[in-house]
Structure 1
Amino acid sequence: MKFIKQFGIILAISFIGEIMNYLIPLPVPASIYGLVLMLLCLHFGIVHIDSVKDSGKFLIEIMPLMFIPAAVGLIESWKTIGSKIGTYLIITVLSTIFVMIVAGHTTQAFIRFSKSKDNQERKDS
């Protein structure tokens, strides 16, 4: 019963993300609205982490299974994308490198900010 309640909370927030996607005319996927909404609900204490933790862990554990339909779709459309595979590979490699660089710099900036904040608090006390 606990899992049903937790999964229901996740689904409700995802559904609200779908509604937001329908109502807000921005090119943002509904899943992003749902993730941001979940983050805000967790941050402000509207939803407590214990009320979604177990179902969230389960969903993360089965995440690789969720990629099977996409892989099957790629295999079925091979005739269409096969001639452009080089272009797709170049775009994939370049965008992966770009995301890794941006994520690394962002993480380093947060670490520096956190360390400077800790040092400032130590000096103040």
Structure 2
Amino acid sequence: MLNGMLWLLGCQLVGEVLAEGLHLPLPGPVIGMVLLFIVLQVRRPYADSGLLQTSDRLLRHLQLLFVPPGVGIVVYLGAVRDEALPIAGALVISWLAGLATVAGLVVLLSRRSSEPGTTS
């Protein structure tokens, strides 16, 4: 389990160092997640690896990770209220973009699965 936590925190640390050192416009944890994804694609963990055990335990408590953003919204409620229209617009546009993307993927994949010679 300690091994898994070291992998997760190590990828985040490398992401932070890259973001700060190269002055990238992305947050370090996002870069760290991309690095972790690449590592997992290159080196698949075993079913009983510490990384999978650690991630399973963290996912069991995922709801706790939403507390800090909620507190931040309450702390900056005045700024959120002043920018309510742009925030609502961004939420609606991103929701529509996600909906259109999923719909397009469903159409594409359903066509692909209905072609002759494909197995379901």
Could you say which residue in structure 2 is the equivalent of 1:62?
A: 61
Across the aligned residues of Structure 1 and Structure 2, the Cα RMSD in angstroms comes to 2.7
Could you say which residue in structure 2 is the equivalent of 1:4?
A: 2
How far did residue 28 of structure 1 move? Answer: 0.6
Q: Larger helix proportion, structure 1 or 2?
A: 1
- 1:92 equivalent to 2:90? Answer no
Segments of 5+ residues of structure 2 without an aligned counterpart are: none
Could you say which residue in structure 2 is the equivalent of 1:114?
A: 109
Q: Which of these residues, 43, 47, 55, is aligned with residue 46 of structure 1?
A: 43
Task: Write the distance in 1 (CA, Å) between the matches of 2:73 and 2:61.
Answer: 20
- Taking a change above 3 Å as real, the CA distance of residues 49 and 56 of structure 1, as seen in their structure-2 partners, is farther
| Number of aligned positions between the proteins | 116
- Taking a change above 3 Å as real, the CA distance of residues 121 and 55 of structure 1, as seen in their structure-2 partners, is farther
- Taking a change above 3 Å as real, the CA distance of residues 25 and 120 of structure 1, as seen in their structure-2 partners, is farther
- CA deviation map 1:15-65 (0-9, x unaligned): 1111221233321111110111122222x2324274422322322332332
Task: Write the distance in 1 (CA, Å) between the matches of 2:46 and 2:28.
Answer: 22
- Taking a change above 3 Å as real, the CA distance of residues 121 and 90 of structure 1, as seen in their structure-2 partners, is same
Give the TM-score, by structure 1 length. 0.69
Identical amino acids, percent of aligned pairs:
16
Give the TM-score, by structure 2 length. 0.71
